[in-house]
Amino acid sequence: MSPQKTTAPAPPSETPEDDAVIGRAFRSSLIVLLLLALVAGGAAWWFRPQPAAVAKQADAVALPSSRVAPAVELPTLPFTEITTSAGITFVHEAGAKGRKLLPETMGSGCAFFDYNNDGYQDILLVNSTTWPWDAAPKQAPTLALYQNDGVGKFADVTESTGLSVTLYGMGVAIGDYDNDGWQDVFVSAVGRNRLFHNDNGKFVDVTAELGVAGNDADWSTGCSWFDYDRDGDLDLFVVNYVQWSRDIDLSLDFRLVGLGRAYGPPIAFQGTLPYLYRNEGAGRFVEVAEAAGLHMRNPATNVPMAKSLGVLPCDLDRDGWIDIVVANDTVQNFLFHNRKDGAFEELGAVSGVAFDSAGNARGAMGIDAAYFRNDNSLGIAIGNFSNEMTALYVTAGSDLQFTDDAIATGLGPPSRLELKFGVLFGDFDLDGRPDLTAANGHLEEEINQVQSSQHYAQPPHFFWNCGPQADSEFVSLGEEKLSADYVRPMVGRGIASADIDGDGDLDLLLTANRGAPRLLRNDQALQHHWIRFRLQDSGPNRDAIGAVVELTAGGNTQRQQVMPTRGYLSQSELALTFGLGKVSAIDRVEITWPDGKSQTLANPKVDELNIVLRPQ
């Protein structure tokens, strides 16, 4: 018989194989249990509490009692007034005889430029004049041109150069519009504007020939030469302030309580339209402002909106095309974005530069811009009316989105009181960070009688750039760090900078309404290194206006654009000044020429002016 029987099977436990089955099961279970134990152990090890983390958490609870910011040592920056000793005898004449006509208080600009190609920065001071309905003075006020001897001494060459010209001048724009190697002079005015061609050190009025006078009824202010259409030559942009005439001004009868007749606010005058003269490249200009999208009109009434003073041509989004920001007085500021097709799109409101943080238009006067944090943060500074802070519209990238960081950077509160006109960035202590200066002064000579906080003459501002890590990015320097010469109150209007004596640091020129200008020599002795660049393009935009220089040294990258139109109605020198602080070696200098061509500069010389010719 086979063991297989038909008997009912016994329960497994009772079978002979049960022990073996149980044994296998036990071993399998044991293996599984061991595996599970290993997994659990591994997991327990993996997720074990981290003693270090506990320690960190404990540390985090102990918060610092105060924020640790880099130690900031304010520099000593003595500026010495050398106006008279340097030979500048100019006095601004505005024709003020008590009628309180608005142009009499808006001042005029100045320019540093090299009119005779000797390599030194000469000075042009724009003058206004007496009114034609008043008795003519014995000697008519004129423009004034002073030739620099290279060490900061100036000779009056107004008569010799043919610039002994009388007009009610306001702003000035310098540019070699005809590519002959000699810088020409455009002067905006109440009435017809003037263009003077520089014929080898002699100026010839070519206004009528070139058709850039505007109209007799215009009041032109900010003006600038730049190549908006990238055809290679310099075009001319001119803004106008308000529709003004003596009769309109007198009929509006502005009064200040206790003072009587006063200078009227621009809000009472009608707005204007600008001019954009496109250079046709053959001694001819065509006015194209409307076609270029620069005519801003109130959409409801169709009347012109602009009441413009400051002009800032700047490639805001770094696309290689120059955009324009226009500072308007009591009207929203404009941002004209270059569409690259010969026209602009106005984006002031959507970009955030049109108003203050409360949505109000301010009394905007002068304007300038700089990459003040040595990164991609472009700051646009606008000098505003008294009791309005200087604006600092900042964009962190190239998306044309700005926020007013005046308060956050420490610039706003100390700038609030004074009535600002020209604002100007510059690295005056050569530490590698651009500082901000401003020319201030009220409109009303007797303002202190009705507003105790205000004075006709006001001290110029100097905001030292402490760097983005400091408690306050901008700190106002006073007399103890500057000089009595710097902070002495004046009726400031225009402002410009240049190295007038070849020592590498930036000197300042401020114009005064109905007074003498102030030439301030920078006598800093901080032993900081520096480097300067003067670009010479091979195309018709000979002075490379619009070119960008990026310099990397000591871990910082600075960026500057060649643009003389800065401040208020004024022009600064074409050369770019980079402070290097204690760093004496440069890692990299890259130039982007106006047509977009890039050039890496080999072996630039520190503590020298480097003249860079564009490679063929």
Q: Which stretch binds other proteins (CB under 8 A): 18-26, 173-181, 378-386, 483-491?
A: 173-181
| Binding residue (CB under 8 A) for other proteins from 75, 166, 199, 259 | 199
Does residue 116 bind other proteins (CB under 8 A)? yes
Instruction: State the Cα angle at 381 between 375 and 382, rounded to 5°.
Output: 165
CB of 156 to other proteins, least distance (A): 11
| Binding residue (CB under 8 A) for other proteins from 76, 80, 164, 179 | 179
CB of 183 to other proteins, least distance (A): 12
Q: Say if CB 462 and CB 425 are below 8 A apart.
A: no
Q: Which stretch binds other proteins (CB under 8 A): 78-86, 114-122, 368-376, 514-522?
A: 114-122
Q: CA separation (Å) from 105 to 81, 92, 351?
A: 24, 11, 32
Q: Is 167 helix (H, G, I), strand (E, B) or coil?
A: coil
Q: Which is nearer to other proteins, 19 or 118 (CB)?
A: 118
Q: Which stretch binds other proteins (CB under 8 A): 194-202, 329-337, 483-491, 583-591?
A: 194-202
Length of the chain: 616
| Binding residue (CB under 8 A) for other proteins from 34, 267, 303, 611 | 611
Does residue 202 bind other proteins (CB under 8 A)? yes
Does residue 178 bind other proteins (CB under 8 A)? yes
Q: Say if CB 506 and CB 522 are below 8 A apart.
A: yes
Place of tokens 């000089």: 483
| Binding residue (CB under 8 A) for other proteins from 57, 469, 536, 598 | 536
| Binding residue (CB under 8 A) for other proteins from 540, 552, 583, 606 | 540
Does residue 181 bind other proteins (CB under 8 A)? yes
| Binding residue (CB under 8 A) for other proteins from 75, 78, 201, 489 | 201
Q: Which is nearer to other proteins, 177 or 241 (CB)?
A: 177
Residues 12 to 41 in contact with other proteins, rule: CB under 8 A: none
Does residue 286 bind other proteins (CB under 8 A)? no
Whole-angstrom Cα Rg for the chain: 33
Q: Say if CB 382 and CB 423 are below 8 A apart.
A: yes
Q: Which residues contact 577 (CB under 8 A, 6 or more apart)?
A: 426, 427, 430, 499, 504, 505, 506, 530, 531, 532
Type of residue numbered 182: W
| Binding residue (CB under 8 A) for other proteins from 283, 413, 478, 596 | 283
Long-range contacts at 290-298 (CB < 8 A, ≥ 24 apart): 291/342, 291/343, 292/228, 292/342, 292/343, 292/344, 293/336, 293/339, 293/343, 293/344, 293/345, 293/346, 294/324, 294/336, 294/344, 296/334, 296/346, 298/271
Does residue 207 bind other proteins (CB under 8 A)? no
Q: Which stretch binds other proteins (CB under 8 A): 221-229, 413-421, 533-541, 556-564?
A: 533-541
Q: Say if CB 324 and CB 345 are below 8 A apart.
A: no
Write the binding mask 471 to 490 for other proteins: x where contact by CB under 8 A, - elsewhere: --------------------
| Binding residue (CB under 8 A) for other proteins from 204, 252, 407, 484 | 204
Does residue 117 bind other proteins (CB under 8 A)? yes
Does residue 119 bind other proteins (CB under 8 A)? yes
Q: Which is nearer to other proteins, 114 or 431 (CB)?
A: 114
| Binding residue (CB under 8 A) for other proteins from 57, 85, 538, 598 | 538
Instruction: State the Cα angle at 225 between 328 and 237, rounded to 5°.
Output: 40
CB of 204 to other proteins, least distance (A): 6
CB of 331 to other proteins, least distance (A): 37
Q: Say if CB 455 and CB 399 are below 8 A apart.
A: no
Q: Measuring CA to CA, which residue among 154, 81, 95 is closest to residue 121?
A: 154
Give me the half-sphere count of Cα atoms (radius 13 Å) on the Cβ side of residue 468: 12
Does residue 157 bind other proteins (CB under 8 A)? yes
Does residue 301 bind other proteins (CB under 8 A)? no
Number of helices (H) and strands (E), helices first, in the chain?
8, 39
Does residue 160 bind other proteins (CB under 8 A)? yes
Distance of alpha carbon 151 from the chain centroid: 28
Q: Is 567 helix (H, G, I), strand (E, B) or coil?
A: strand
Q: Which is nearer to other proteins, 265 or 502 (CB)?
A: 502
Q: Measuring CA to CA, which residue among 169, 361, 358, 390 is closest to residue 267?
A: 361
CB of 371 to other proteins, least distance (A): 29
263 burial level (CB within 10 Å; 0-12, 13-18, 19+) = buried
Distance CA 157, CA 172 (A): 18
Strands 110-113 and 79-81 come out as unpaired
Q: Which stretch binds other proteins (CB under 8 A): 29-37, 193-201, 358-366, 513-521?
A: 193-201
Does residue 502 bind other proteins (CB under 8 A)? no
Q: Which is nearer to other proteins, 377 or 599 (CB)?
A: 599
Write the binding mask 356 to 395 for other proteins: x where contact by CB under 8 A, - elsewhere: ----------------------------------------
Work out the number of other CB atoms within 10 angstroms of the CB of residue 558: 23
CB of 346 to other proteins, least distance (A): 31
End-to-end CA distance of the chain: give it in Å, rounded: 113
Q: Which is nearer to other proteins, 68 or 602 (CB)?
A: 602
| Binding residue (CB under 8 A) for other proteins from 118, 253, 480, 587 | 118
Q: Which residues bind other proteins (CB under 8 A)?
A: 116-119, 150, 157, 160-161, 178-182, 199-202, 204, 232-233, 281-284, 536, 538-540, 611, 613, 616
